[in-house]
Amino acid sequence: MKISIPLFSVFLAALLAGCSPKDDTEKKIDGLLGKMTLHEKVGQMNQLSGGEWLVESAAKGEVGSILNCVDPKEINAVQRAAVEDSRLGIPILVSRDVIHGFRTMFPLPIGQAATFDPELVRKGAAIAAREAVSSGVKLTFSPMLDIARDPRWGRVAEGSGEDPYLDAIMGEAMVKGYKEGGLASCVKHFVGYGAAEGGRDYNSTLLTERALRNVYFPAFKKAINAGAETLMTSFNDNDGIPSTGNKWLLTDILRDEWGFDGMVVTDWNSSGEMIAHGFASDLKHATEISVNAGVDMDMMSYGFISFIEELVKEGKIKESRIDDAVRNILRLKFRLGLFDNPYVDETAVDAYAPDALEAAKQTALESAILLKNDGVLPLKKGRTILVTGPLADAPYEQMGTWAFDGEADHTVTPLDALKDKFNVIYEPGLSYSRDNSTAGILKARAASSRAEAIVVFVGEEAILSGEAHSLSSLNLQGAQSELISAMASTGKPVAVVVMAGRPLTIERDLENCGAMLYSFHPGTMGGEALAELLCGEAVPSGKTPMTFLRTAGQAPMYYNHNNTGRPNTGTETLLEDIPIAAGQTSLGCTSYYLDSGYGPLFPFGYGLSYSSFEYSNLTLDKSKYSAGDTIMVGFDLENTGEYDATEVAQLYVRDLVGSVARPVKELKRFGRITLKAGETKHVTFELPVSELAFWNADMEFTVEAGEFQLWVAGNSAEGEALSFNVI
């Protein structure tokens, strides 16, 4: 039956739509702007680090946001000055780096990505938001959405790895979780920061527009669509233009193309650092460039508060641009409810609630990646085990980088947790991860005579990853490899647990253990999670969110690369097999390293289980698709092992011929599938053909007709391909 809608109803709906809360907010913003002096407007654009000492600045209307203050009393003092003592009563925005938890520390974001569980990541972000908001924080500088393909770069710890699709899904989950908990998110770093030359932090990048659009933009766009309220510019220059001064990025793309109406903030002094880049002559010039490019708020360069008024008078910055920036800042404050409720309850700080600890433990469980197991794990409960290694009882290091508000005395270490399940002999072997003394190794080896099995906890101290913590060697630091080797020489079963902020080059260590469990710094509840995994109370299900290299010399290496004209065949001659006086072209002339071959140590998406899985009956609903169709991918997944377990099934595609070369594989779907031992499930993935689109040779975002391949497997290197066509 066809239903007609009366014209009056249409008119009424339009009238009501015209009275939306957004319009009311815009009227309030315009009202405030009309009352503000230029000096007060500029004050809103000024973000400073500190707490109660900023009371005077707040009362004068010379600061719009503060960061690095989490004391509710200090926050209220600043708010009181801004709201009650300043002329216009505009509240302060309180910001903080809440990267992987506030008090309750979750695994590092790279570890959260290893879960391939966006719902759990959303839940963790909501808990972090709840705890942070209870202390007065209203904006977090997270999630970090930089594609990271070089583990030498220390900030891989803060992101979701090398894959644009996984990065976008995890970023979206975090944005939604923060919003659910009342915390605004600031997606960073816009853009390309993770592609820093040599993996050295703050370094230059050289990314084409097509690479930006196909690889580096998608996660930011998805996060903004999910409701991200703010965006941070990155430190790097790309093709000679620092992001903080890049009008094409901040205005043409972000505002005009994507329609972003949130706030843009610099990274710490990234405006002032354009002087060192050689892009600005002095701080006044840097301020002019930043504001005109589209920056709304300056973090800690003091340039905006010092020079904007002068630049407006000189006609180098239009006051209308200042008005737009302040609108974006005020809009955020209205959306966060700060005008209605600027103060924080000083008696209601939320930390370490039971649901927070349980979620942190579950995330640590799902994030751990089993890289090797020759039957050593799981260990039988009640056995006598030697626990050794510098990370066995290191609560501070276990929290990882960017754990400003985490508390070591609330961290459960593996040593503590294992004592409830085993008869534990503890001999640390090394005092910390960089310790080169072998005296403790001798003690650990002697203690091993009383143990039935050995568990070695190695990795990185928290300070070795994160911002400004790049490395040129990714081997275990200090004498950790010597400790593992010494334990292997005992003849006892050896399991190694690595806790680190990045994928390390652990090939030599794999040879000296029967099992290896990799846990990116797992946070507050990491000890309990690892103990449950080691004894079989839980089964590993994590997958590598980045390619694990054999040697740092392979970096950057990532699965979704373009092919070369001379691809590796797998039959190349390696260094030790090259004949003496070999001819120049005798080695085949393909793309590989003479000393380390072609492939990585472990591919993207890799992870073992105590059980085993078999994929079969992969089918597509048809062989030819139009642009508006959805591809229905079906397959059977069987748990062929003895443990109930979870597998992360992954769907990859390849566009075989394009107007520009396309990656050899691209992740398009994934799902965590839990099966009882012996159980089989039929699983279906739905993939709209529209998601095969890319920015082509004419810089158009389109799906090109042609032949494609599709795989479903447990990692990016396995699976039998099916073919289909887009017409």
Q: What is the DSSP string of 606-648?
A: --B-SS-EEEEEEEES-SEE-TT-EEEEEEEEEE-SSS-EEEE
3-state secondary structure of 443: helix
Tokens representing 463 are 């300070």
* CA R_g for the chain: 27
User: Which DSSP letter does residue 547 get?
Assistant: P
Closest by alpha carbon to 514, among 616, 650, 372? 372
Crossing angle of helices 354-367 and 118-134, rounded to 10° = 140
- Cα–Cα distance between 274 and 296 in angstroms, integer? 16
Q: Does the pLDDT at position 373 exceed 70?
A: yes
Average pLDDT over residues 73-77: 98
For residue 600, cis peptide bond before it (omega within 30 degrees of 0): no
> What band does 570 get if pLDDT is binned at 50, 70 and 90?
confident
Per-residue pLDDT tens digits for 118-147? 999 999 999 999 999 999 999 999 999 999
Share of the chain above pLDDT 70, in %: 97
Question: Can you give the residue ranges of every domain in the chain?
Answer: 47-93, 94-335, 613-726
Q: Does the pLDDT at position 594 exceed 60?
A: yes
3-state secondary structure of 354: helix
- Cα–Cα distance between 500 and 513 in angstroms, integer? 18
Which pLDDT score, from 0 to 100, does residue 21 have?
55
Which pLDDT score, from 0 to 100, does residue 72 have?
97
- Cα–Cα distance between 707 and 392 in angstroms, integer? 51
Which pLDDT score, from 0 to 100, does residue 20 have?
53
Residue bearing the bigger pLDDT, 248 or 569 = 248
- Cα–Cα distance between 83 and 343 in angstroms, integer? 10
Share of the chain above pLDDT 90, in %: 96
Can you tell me which residue has the tokens 């003895």?
642
Asked if residue 382 lies in contact with residue 422, where contact means CB atoms within 8 angstroms, the answer is yes
Cβ contacts of 381 within 8 Å, gap of 6 or more: 421, 422, 535, 536
- Cα–Cα distance between 26 and 634 in angstroms, integer? 49
In this structure, whether the domain defined by 94-335 belongs to CATH 3.20.20.300 is answered with yes
Asked if residue 47 lies in contact with residue 300, where contact means CB atoms within 8 angstroms, the answer is yes
Catalytic residue among 267, 296, 405, 655: 267
Per-residue pLDDT tens digits for 637-648? 999 999 999 999
DSSP string, 672-697: EEEE-TT-EEEEEEEEEGGGG-EE-T
Asked if residue 521 lies in contact with residue 109, where contact means CB atoms within 8 angstroms, the answer is no
Average pLDDT over residues 511-523: 98
- Cα–Cα distance between 533 and 368 in angstroms, integer? 9
Closest by alpha carbon to 301, among 313, 289, 317? 289
Closest by alpha carbon to 236, among 216, 262, 206? 206
Q: How far is CA 394 from CA 433, 484, 662, in A?
A: 10, 18, 45
Burial level of 71, CB count in 10 A (0-12/13-18/19+)? middle
Which amino acid belongs to residue 365? L
Which pLDDT score, from 0 to 100, does residue 10 have?
35
Which pLDDT score, from 0 to 100, does residue 617 have?
98
* Helical (H) or strand (E) element with 556: none
Q: Is the dihedral of CA 288, 290, 296, 300 positive or negative?
A: negative
Per-residue pLDDT tens digits for 283-311? 999 999 999 999 999 999 999 999 999 99
- Cα–Cα distance between 222 and 172 in angstroms, integer? 6
Give this prediction's pTM: 0.96
- Convert 318-349 to b/e letters by CB count within 10 Å (16 or more is b): eeebbbbbbbbbbbbbbebebbeebebeeeee
3-state secondary structure of 188: strand
User: Which DSSP letter does residue 572 get?
Assistant: P
Tokens representing 273 are 């650092």
- Cα–Cα distance between 477 and 459 in angstroms, integer? 8
Which pLDDT score, from 0 to 100, does residue 665 have?
98
Which pLDDT score, from 0 to 100, does residue 66 have?
98
> Could you give phi then psi for residue 164, rounded to 5 degrees?
-60, -40
Cβ contacts of 535 within 8 Å, gap of 6 or more: 378, 379, 380, 381, 421, 422
Per-residue pLDDT tens digits for 313-343? 999 999 999 999 999 999 999 999 999 999 9
CATH class of 613-726: mainly beta
Average pLDDT over residues 476-491: 98
Which amino acid belongs to residue 319? E
Which pLDDT score, from 0 to 100, does residue 538 have?
98
Which pLDDT score, from 0 to 100, does residue 694 have?
98
Can you tell me which residue has the tokens 């004949």?
579
Which amino acid belongs to residue 398? Q
Asked if residue 230 lies in contact with residue 262, where contact means CB atoms within 8 angstroms, the answer is yes
Average pLDDT over residues 207-222: 98
End-to-end CA distance of the chain: 36
Average pLDDT over residues 464-490: 98
Tokens representing 60 are 């004068």
Which pLDDT score, from 0 to 100, does residue 17 have?
43
Tokens representing 476 are 């275990």
Told to judge if 267 belongs to the known catalytic residues of this protein, a careful annotator would answer yes
What number of residues does the chain have? 727
Average pLDDT over residues 362-389: 98
3-state secondary structure of 409: helix
Can you tell me which residue has the tokens 């985490």?
406
- Cα–Cα distance between 171 and 188 in angstroms, integer? 10
508 sits in the region (left: phi over 0; alpha: psi -120 to 50; else beta) called alpha
- Cα–Cα distance between 247 and 320 in angstroms, integer? 16
- Cα–Cα distance between 58 and 74 in angstroms, integer? 12
Per-residue pLDDT tens digits for 1-24? 233 333 333 333 443 444 455 689
Closest by alpha carbon to 106, among 126, 92, 88? 126
Q: Does the pLDDT at position 521 exceed 60?
A: yes
Which pLDDT score, from 0 to 100, does residue 16 have?
42
